[in-house]
Structure 1
Amino acid sequence: MSDITDKVDKAYADKSVSDIADAPVDALKGVSEGDAEKLKEAFNIKTVRDLGTNKYFLWAQAIAKLAD
């Protein structure tokens, strides 16, 4: 992703990719604080990195790709 500024909240637009990865999940556009809390409760996901490396999300992504 060469330009991720349109995928994160304005507060994170000038941050490095590493900083964004370590940011709370609600740094992503469209993810509310409530959504972030539900992800934390269900899967112990606290950061963007946690979301991107969660085994259940990775498994679902792999299954979806194989289904195509």
Structure 2
Amino acid sequence: MAAIDLAKVLDKAWADKGLAEILAAPVSALKGVSDRDGELLKEAFGVTTVADLADLKYVRWAQALAALDAAG
């Protein structure tokens, strides 16, 4: 698995946190995800944390489709 530059994917306030703390963080901890986006994700899918978003079946399905396409 490729390394991830946390400074590129997390809001500044979260970039120095541990993985467990990041996974428990609100989705707005991800760079580019606003508090309002987080509210909408909660309303639509029940997502409240980064871990919830990662585990969302629609995200997993989209990733699987993209992987199939890349495998070509």
What's the TM-score once normalised by structure 1's chain length?
0.90
Higher-Rg structure is 2
Task: Flag as ranges the 4+ runs of structure 1 deviating above 2 A.
Answer: none
1:33 aligns with 2:35: yes
Residues matched between the structures, number: 68
Q: How much is the aligned-residue C-alpha RMSD, in angstroms?
A: 1.1
Q: Offset at 1:56?
A: 1.1
Q: Offset at 1:19?
A: 0.4
Gapped regions of structure 1 (runs ≥ 5): none
Q: Could you give the per-residue CA deviations for residues 3-54 of structure 1, whole angstroms, max 9, x where no partner exists?
A: 3122111111111011001000000000001111111111100000001111
Gapped regions of structure 2 (runs ≥ 5): none
2:62 to 53, 60, 63: 60
